[in-house]
Structure 1
Amino acid sequence: MSITRRSFLKGASGTAVSGMVPLSLSLPMNSAFANTTNDYRAIVCLFLHGGNDSFNMIVPGNNDAQYTTARPDIYLSNEEKLSIPDSEAGQALAINARMPNLAEMLNQGQGAALLNIGTLVEPTNKQNLYDVKKPNNLGAHNKQQTAWQSSWGDSGYHPYGWAGLMMDVLSSGSVVSDSMSFSGNELLTGTISKDISLSSGEIKAMDALGHSNAVNNQFTALVNSPYGSDFKQTYNQHLKGILDFQTELQSVVDTYPEDSSIPSSSLGLQLRMVRRMMQAATDLGHQRQVFFVNLGGFDNHRSQRGRHDGLLETIDLAVSAFHRSLDALSLSEKVVTFTLSDFGRTIENNSNQGTDHGWGSNQLVVGEAVNGGRSYGRYPSFVRDGDDAWGNKFIPSQSSEQLGATLCRWMGLSEQGVDLIFPTLSPSHNNAFSSRYLGFLGDYLDKEQEAELPILAVSASETRVDHTPEMAIDGNLFTKWTAKGQGIQYLIELSATSTVTKLLYSQAKGDVRQYLFDVEVSNNGINFELVTQVLTPGNTTGFVEQLIGKTGVNFIRLTCNGNNGSDPKLVLWNNFQEIKVLGYTA
């Protein structure tokens, strides 16, 4: 690599973008909106065009009668699925058996499933479905593709992608864009940042250069012609600069050969080029890179099983091989691949052994940076028009923008930057999301600041005068709060809005029986998000640690449901000897 080439690629100034940019979306580079380190990081978006039936990708792990009843023609048998980590709510889950490599990665903590996630403007459930604002054109391919790739403003989706707005802040300023794609998209479009178009074998600076040799020769002769007006000569020089740029950039990429261990499928070839561009990052002056790859064929309204299973196998082979290949480059902890798709599919299969357009979906995030060992969120019940459904569609319980915000934060965007790009996630909303983030990239949490959080107040829906709620936070393991019944709620109010990393609790008789309780969090004490359903270990009266990983928390609610002890007279009793909340203030 010559100094001249390196200087050309790292030092050339970017092209200004004409037109007025809304002030609210003008994110200054190297400002309070960025909180980056000097390491390298990259995200790879794998967009599954057509609407992936992700509820036949991630499925119930047990013999779920609701699942098989809803999908009699397309359900996965026990032999056709592989176990993966449980949901945060403790539900057993599995992945389609045509994805064994990704199953292994998820079980090794190198990835996670995101459950029932979709496009939302505000938290939505069966009870408030007709009272909240919802995205426009649910079920429309083009509109929902836009919704996944952008973020909601005052009254509609921004004309920019959330990753493009992020790179407006984080971009290196190199003449070679830090954002690269293999197909048209909105995700990488910023107010300043634009993506460069790649193909699986070469750089496509101009479409003309992808044509025949005769066309290329005519084009080269045109730009080198010494004849014509001053305007024509100026324009020719501009085109010649583009030719020189492409030639120079291609020569950089050519120094990094393809990795043939990644399959030669359409998706695999895209990921081969992504790997080469990652290898060239230092030569290009990039510390942050964003890639958009794609795979089509997911709009299966009929005869779904064979085609869909084959597509999942293609994903499994290509993505797992790509991440294995990153190990040799010492990039395995620096790259996160994630899936997006138009929407999920319907709860029930149709009469043509296919599925129709839905709403909520499951997505995958893969990479050693992922906080694996669990699946994020709660898997919905397979009941048409049930508690988790709007007719034949699942109502998302997690927002696509929470996914985007989590990735942006990990890439180095500050809280201020996240607030500006994703205003719907602001905790100041009346109907606010319980957290901006989903927790699968806890690397953005500053673990060194973790400490016991001060508790402002506690209360309970049932109590005894000699075993009050305050006795569970008095620092004395010989006192306790107790109450009898199912659905008893113990409420903790923190002194300040906080990121809660862990809950520590101890229980009387915790060494001889297992207690059951749900953990929920909220920023306003009204709208609560279920974090997990706990079945205590039953072997200790000491402190037990429960991971939380939620930001923007003001309230924690523990809903107690008794215990599984052998004495039927005692199974409805609940207690906490002591409770501690760990994390740091927001």
Structure 2
Amino acid sequence: MTSRRNFLKGALGTAAAAGAGWAPQRALAAGSSYKALVCITLVGGTDTHDFLIPTTASDYSRWVDLRASMLEASKGTRERSLLLGLNNAEGTSVGFAPELQELHELYQEGALAIVSNAGPLNGPTSAADFSPRTGIVPDRLGSHNDQRSVWKTGGFDGAPSGWLGRLMDFFPEDSPAARVTIGESSPMVAGADTVGFTMSRRNLRLPDGFEDSKVFGSTELPALLRKHYRKTGRTMDNMFMREVLKAQNNAYDVSLMLRRPLLEGTVGQQIDQEENLLAERLAMVADIIADSATFGFDRQIFHVTFGGFDTHRDQFDVLPGLQRKLATALKGFHRAMQSIGMDEQVTAFTITDFGRTLQGNVTGTDHGWGSHHCVVGGAVRGGRVIGEMPPYEVGHDQDWRRGALIPTLSVEQYGASLGRWFGVDEAGINQVFPNLSRFDPNAVDLF
């Protein structure tokens, strides 16, 4: 006989892990201190090589030579003297692009760490594995949807649940309001039994009859409609429709829960939102977090999307503005968390489809693989570049093609460090990231 849970998984698309048979062994009880993870997906594949730029004379000269055609459009904004310098642990001299000034400030004060050259891997990989191509090389490299899905779920496009959602499965919060996506729908926050809730400021309004004081000229109809849907959901004989209506009522309840802090708009107002979609979305996250005590959640996860990074051409007409918006939004979000004393309880981090080629293609860059990532929060041991900083040249051991980087850190290593801070023990971490044993599990030490 089909169980109710199995029926829902098949009929309503209830999330399951990318790997077969995912079922979290609850390795710990929820702690007493609230924590939130905020994943920011930079959609399109951001240019790693214009995020951190070499500052030594020889490295910078090679970087310029490989990007000469596209740098003509930079209008001098990539002059070596304008770079915002920082040194990683190995002493390789690099700097932020000038548009990332706010990230430089967070780095200097120790609230931002950079995870260098991370991406999807089946195991430690170098250029030698491509000739002849070995089984360790991942499939579908360069595919936007698939690589973005691998980053989030461990599987290709269509995988039903994300590693952030599977980390959340170790805690008792099963309300969709504890798993919020702002922007395009994504499996990142979905777990074994809870899909999560996707929203934007544009869909804060409830359907007619659920919030209106008057419908079709009647002041009594809204209450009657609400009573009808609530009652029908409990009494309808058809199992499928009963569960559909239950989901509808659940969406109504979650909408009411989240709308109040968002409509009141408290701490999020501190984040500069002028023509900055990422800042607007992070302001929504900030308002929800500020009201977390009302929800009674011990843990929350958020996924925010920010697009436009597929810069095959005219990169310098597009990318600097996106970098400025990213830096402004991340700094504003961190300052908002500081203002309510929750900066050590909230960690924001970035992912992207893939990095891009070091060598330009006249006015832009093409699909790559490994990329650098930001991790921001009061608990982060910032002011560091974690991992190996690859050389700014072509033909080295980690060059896939035209300076596109073969990752030296895996998604599993990155996610495991975040998961440990979140409060999942090693048994749980290895459930969420079953391939972690193929890598050094402690290579990414963010906290």
Using the size of structure 1 for normalisation, the TM-score is 0.64
Q: Please say if residues 35 and 414 of structure 1, whose CA atoms lie closer than 8 Å, have aligned partners that are also in contact.
A: no
Larger displacement relative to structure 2 (405-414 or 255-264):
255-264
Q: Please say if residues 224 and 240 of structure 1, whose CA atoms lie closer than 8 Å, have aligned partners that are also in contact.
A: no
Structure 1 match to 2:75: none
SS in 2 for 1:43: strand
SS in 2 for 1:439: coil
Q: Does 1:79 align with 2:90?
A: no
Q: Does 1:337 align with 2:339?
A: no
Partner AA of 2:256 in structure 1: T
Q: Please say if residues 122 and 132 of structure 1, whose CA atoms lie closer than 8 Å, have aligned partners that are also in contact.
A: no
Partner AA of 2:266 in structure 1: P
- Separation in 2 of the partners of 1:361 and 1:247? 39
- The verdict on how the C-alpha distance between 1:272 and 1:131 changes in structure 2, with shifts beyond 3 A counting, is same
Kindly provide the CA deviation profile for residues 351-375 of structure 1, in whole angstroms up to 9, marking residues without a partner as x: 2x10011111111111121112320
Number of residue pairs matched by the alignment = 413
What pairs up with 1:49-448 in 2 under 5 angstroms?
Answer: 49-63=43-57, 64=59, 65-75=61-71, 76-84=78-86, 86-129=87-130, 130-151=133-154, 159-173=160-174, 175-182=175-182, 183-200=184-201, 203=204, 231=236, 238=246, 239=248, 242-243=251-252, 246-251=255-260, 253-254=262-263, 257=266, 259-264=268-273, 265-351=276-362, 353-392=363-402, 393-426=404-437, 432-441=438-447
**Residue 219 of structure 1, CA deviation:** 8.7
**Residue 74 of structure 1, CA deviation:** 3.9
**Residue 333 of structure 1, CA deviation:** 1.2
What pairs up with 1:498-537 in 2 under 5 angstroms?
Answer: none
Partner AA of 2:166 in structure 1: L
Larger displacement relative to structure 2 (70-79 or 306-315):
70-79
| Higher RCO by CA contacts (8 Å cutoff, separation 6 or greater) | 2
Larger displacement relative to structure 2 (291-300 or 155-164):
155-164
Q: Please say if residues 85 and 96 of structure 2, whose CA atoms lie closer than 8 Å, have aligned partners that are also in contact.
A: yes
- The verdict on how the C-alpha distance between 1:321 and 1:378 changes in structure 2, with shifts beyond 3 A counting, is same
Q: Please say if residues 70 and 382 of structure 1, whose CA atoms lie closer than 8 Å, have aligned partners that are also in contact.
A: no
- Separation in 2 of the partners of 1:255 and 1:240? 23
Higher strand share: 1
**Residue 246 of structure 1, CA deviation:** 2.9
- The verdict on how the C-alpha distance between 1:208 and 1:342 changes in structure 2, with shifts beyond 3 A counting, is farther
Point out where structure 2 has 5 or more consecutive residues left out of the alignment: 11-15, 72-77
Q: Please say if residues 413 and 440 of structure 2, whose CA atoms lie closer than 8 Å, have aligned partners that are also in contact.
A: no
- The verdict on how the C-alpha distance between 1:171 and 1:266 changes in structure 2, with shifts beyond 3 A counting, is farther
Runs of 4+ in 1 over 4 A off after TM superposition: 20-24, 155-158, 201-211, 213-230, 232-242, 252-256
Kindly provide the CA deviation profile for residues 497-534 of structure 1, in whole angstroms up to 9, marking residues without a partner as x: xxxxxxxxxxxxxxxxxxxxxxxxxxxxxxxxxxxxxx
- The verdict on how the C-alpha distance between 1:204 and 1:299 changes in structure 2, with shifts beyond 3 A counting, is farther
SS in 2 for 1:423: coil
For the pair shown, which has the larger CA radius of gyration, 1 or 2? 1
**Residue 253 of structure 1, CA deviation:** 4.9
**Residue 88 of structure 1, CA deviation:** 3.0
Q: Please say if residues 209 and 215 of structure 2, whose CA atoms lie closer than 8 Å, have aligned partners that are also in contact.
A: no
Q: Please say if residues 46 and 337 of structure 1, whose CA atoms lie closer than 8 Å, have aligned partners that are also in contact.
A: yes
- The verdict on how the C-alpha distance between 1:302 and 1:159 changes in structure 2, with shifts beyond 3 A counting, is same
Give the counterpart of 1:19 among 2, 9, 13. Answer: 9
SS in 2 for 1:295: strand
SS in 2 for 1:131: coil
Q: Please say if residues 38 and 347 of structure 2, whose CA atoms lie closer than 8 Å, have aligned partners that are also in contact.
A: yes
Partner AA of 2:81 in structure 1: E
Q: Please say if residues 149 and 159 of structure 2, whose CA atoms lie closer than 8 Å, have aligned partners that are also in contact.
A: no
Q: Does 1:46 align with 2:12?
A: no
Q: Please say if residues 268 and 283 of structure 2, whose CA atoms lie closer than 8 Å, have aligned partners that are also in contact.
A: yes
Larger displacement relative to structure 2 (186-195 or 298-307):
186-195
Q: Please say if residues 170 and 412 of structure 1, whose CA atoms lie closer than 8 Å, have aligned partners that are also in contact.
A: no
Partner AA of 1:282 in structure 2: A
SS in 1 for 2:268: coil
Larger displacement relative to structure 2 (229-238 or 102-111):
229-238
RMSD value, Cα: 3.4
Structure 2 match to 1:37: 31
- Separation in 1 of the partners of 2:299 and 2:232? 43
Partner AA of 1:116 in structure 2: N
- Separation in 2 of the partners of 1:80 and 1:381? 21
**Residue 128 of structure 1, CA deviation:** 3.5
SS in 1 for 2:378: coil
Q: Please say if residues 177 and 194 of structure 1, whose CA atoms lie closer than 8 Å, have aligned partners that are also in contact.
A: no
**Residue 204 of structure 1, CA deviation:** 7.1
Point out where structure 1 has 5 or more consecutive residues left out of the alignment: 1-14, 427-431, 442-586
